[in-house]
Structure 1
Amino acid sequence: MKKLVLTGAAGRLGSYLREPLSKMCEELVSTDLAEDIGKLYPGERYVAANLESLDAMVDLLAGADMVVHFGAIGDEAPFETLLGPNFIGAYNVWEAAYRNGVRRVVYASSIHAVGMHPKTDFIGTDAPHRPDTFYGLAKCFAEDLASMYWDKRQVEAVCLRILSCAQVTNPRAVGSWLSYDDLIQLVQRAIDTPVTGFSVIYGVSNNDRAPVDNAKAAFLGYRPKDNAEQFAEAVFAEAGPLDHQDPGNMCHGGPFASVELGNSGVATMNIVDDRKKT
């Protein structure tokens, strides 16, 4: 592959993707809003660009084979705040991909697109959209955008419904954890699978208590290796009994299912910022 583009390269997940993606292509173009992202890997260059600018995205994706789109506001916020980067930004990436003849968009979707489904429902990749927040609504929009651009314009897409890619610090994560190694494998399979059309797959590790079913995405070849059960005893003991009437405990979206629309969900999740240093 000659050229890959990674949006959201300055983010925590982007920091773990840069090096492996740089080894899959002749040129990796990493992008974000930051002025720079420090030391670059061999074959990588950095371009500061705004997702809200269609012209910037068209220029960025020129000559690209695929784009790995992880750029966005990664939390619930007022609709007006998310409209530019998360809604319009998604449109700009897909439209720029179409205009440049880019084969495939690999998109960081989220469990929050289906976050109001009860956790006791073992949902598959064909579960209907049931967003828990404006953030989740943006993921629904982008997934539907991806489906339409495949049907109408033959731009392939793999939408990665990531559950929780962070250290296991709460009971929900014992089922929803996606390790960084499994994240990397997930993105690699979304890139190197020869034909994907429009596909959805859950981003979750091989957890004993994983609440979602990837059977219909088996053709992508993603076979996670890590298991959060190793953390279960300590995490459950520290948390104590959970309120079974709290949607944050009962729904796939976790805390995002509980917060008022427009209010941060991440603020309640004790996420450790352990981004990779170059």
Structure 2
Amino acid sequence: MRNIRFNSLVRAAMTHEHAQNRLGITIFLNVVITVAQIIGGIISGSLALISDALHNLSDSLAVVLAYIANRLSGREKTSKSTFGFQRAEIIAAFINALVLVVISFYLMVEAIKRYFDPQVIDFRWMLWLGILGIAANGFSVFLLHADQNHNLNIKAAYLHLMGDAMTSVAVVVGALCIWLWDWYWIDPTITLLISFYLLLHTYKLLKESTEILMQFAPSNISVPEIARRLTEHDQVAQVYHIHVWRLTDRTVHFEAHVVLNSDLKLSETKIINKQLAQILIEEFEIQHITLQLECVK
């Protein structure tokens, strides 16, 4: 049993280290894309290319925050930070989402202005830098794919990069339309589509990270249902002062006062405590449980 736990810890540490390495590579790639597209957007006059660059800039910030948060979350607990720095990942995810919302609205305003003041665009810069964006972001998405389902913060960076890859495709399509048919209106149109896409995919992330920071109960857990289930135990008269919250996207905490039908010995209450905890773990997937047992006065 001890060997199994040790092996699990080793695998977790290796996964954490690999995630950091992958995030480091994506930081470098995003910085390169951002600088190249900003320069190309200014030279070509393409708002879509600049919007893609700003999107990449926000993603560079997102991945940097993800990298820092990933390192902080691995720090040991102290007497002052009794939970360690696990919340750093949620704060980073919240900031990432908030930045994307602000950038999306900014791009919408600039795109609408372009409809009233259209400009000639050099499609060649759009085409080649769009292809560069597809290649670099596609590779970054591939790197983070394995970790994105196990960590909300890495999932935030993953969604940023996935959005970048798709918007780079839109930039390439726009460049081809300008090249073949002189459709200069396609540039602000692509910018609006990118903005709407960002808002659509950011809402859920912003909502979830806000709920965790506000210590809301997870949406899949019903507090009345937990109280009802625990009072089905033949020794439990009442459950009150219930608190359910998530420390991170992966860990759910629970605390409550449990009133027993009779005044029992400490050894007997220990058994009841274990039985109630088992219900919470198996039926509600709650990992950290604190129960304060009382007796009917």
Shorter chain as denominator, the TM-score bin is under 0.3
Which has a greater percent of helix?
Answer: 2
**Structure of greater Rg:** 2
Which has a greater percent of strand?
Answer: 1
Q: Which has the higher contact order (CA 8 A, sep 6+)?
A: 1
